Structure 1
Amino acid sequence: MSTEPVVWREPVRDEWIDYNGHLSEAYYVLVLGHATDAVMDAVGLGPAYREANDASLYTLEAHVRYLDEVAAGSDLEVRSSVIGASGKLLWIWHELYAEGRLRATEEVLGVHVVGRASAPFPDDVADRVRAACVDPPEEASGRIRPLAKA
């Protein structure tokens, strides 16, 4: 993984539209979760790794900012970056766009879990995380404590 954002795209589905005629808040989080999966894939924590190692990334904390409505029929694009890490923690920043405009952001702090316990990242994953790390944007909430770069 490079320092370029990981990009996830998917269309808004009709069933995601609420009674106000725009994307319901739960589906912002669903799409951002898919973007987290794309980051996991990029750093080597994808499905094959999870199955072979009984390991995954568990969300400890997340902060969403809903900045603008998303209309039915929109195509969504999430740009995601690793903005911090430690031996077993990964801090991800997501920006969700529709029609070229920023609509939401999310910070996610995940912990690497093997079996049922937290565990350090394997060396190859830690190397990819370290290579991917960029500085947090000013918009980051600060509620998730900044982590040392991996």
Structure 2
Amino acid sequence: MTAAPVVWREPVQDAWIDYNGHLSEAYYVLALGHATDAVMDAVGLGPDYRSANDASLYTVEAHVRYLEEVPAGSDLEVRSSVIGATAKLLWIWHELWVDGRLRATEEVLGVHVRGGASAPFPADVAARARDACVAPPPHAGGRIQLAPKPVPEGGARP
């Protein structure tokens, strides 16, 4: 059985629209951050846990792929999955959908921090994270790169 994605929905706010008439890149990250909060809630790292334990999940790396513009007035749906977990780390995959079309993805690597230092997840959180884990999609773990240009005769690169 595959764990169902955690779904977060919210409407695009007028203030989020840039000079091109589309969702500004910062607001993709804001909405995807709200989706990360929903995943945290699902695995037991919600507000009650945070206040009772002086602990939370801190983002240490994120990679966003902007695949298609999001127009003003859209309703966002983010489908999120845990795609990896260790004793202290949670790897999350987000897909941002609008009108049945994939518009962006983000992968987030978060570290569990308690009292200002990285710390292992409590056993119940670790178990929920493991139970929620699904196989990473093909684009997870990607990186930005340019294809190397061939070295011209004479050996100097432009």
Percent identity, please: 82
TM-score (norm: length of structure 2): 0.88
Deviations 1:106-138 (A, max 9, x none): 000000000100000000000100100000000
- The worse-fitting range, judged by mean Cα deviation, of 2-11 and 125-134 is 2-11
How many Å separate the matches in 2 of 1:96 and 1:141? 17
Which runs of structure 1 show a deviation greater than 4 angstroms over 4 or more consecutive aligned residues?
A: none
Gaps of 5+ in 1: 144-150
* Structure 2 counterpart of 1:97: 97
* Structure 1 counterpart of 2:18: 18
CA RMSD of aligned residues (A): 0.9
How many Å separate the matches in 2 of 1:71 and 1:116? 40
* Structure 1 counterpart of 2:146: none
How many Å separate the matches in 2 of 1:93 and 1:124? 21
Q: Does residue 54 of the first structure (1) align with residue 54 of the second (2)?
A: yes
SS of 1:34's partner is helix
* Structure 2 counterpart of 1:146: none
Q: Which letter does structure 2 place at the counterpart of 1:71?
A: P
How many Å separate the matches in 1 of 2:141 and 2:17? 27
How many Å separate the matches in 1 of 2:3 and 2:17? 34
* Structure 1 counterpart of 2:75: 75
Q: Does residue 136 of the first structure (1) align with residue 131 of the second (2)?
A: no
Report the alpha carbon displacement of residue 67 of structure 1 after superposing the two structures with TM: 0.2
SS of 1:138's partner is coil
SS of 1:107's partner is strand
Report the alpha carbon displacement of residue 140 of structure 1 after superposing the two structures with TM: 1.1
**How many pairs were matched up?**
142
Report the alpha carbon displacement of residue 139 of structure 1 after superposing the two structures with TM: 1.5
How many Å separate the matches in 2 of 1:141 and 1:55? 26
SS of 1:64's partner is strand
The structure with higher relative contact order (CA 8 Å, sep 6+) is 1
TM-score (norm: length of structure 1): 0.93
Larger Rg: 2
How many Å separate the matches in 1 of 2:36 and 2:74? 20
Report the alpha carbon displacement of residue 141 of structure 1 after superposing the two structures with TM: 3.2
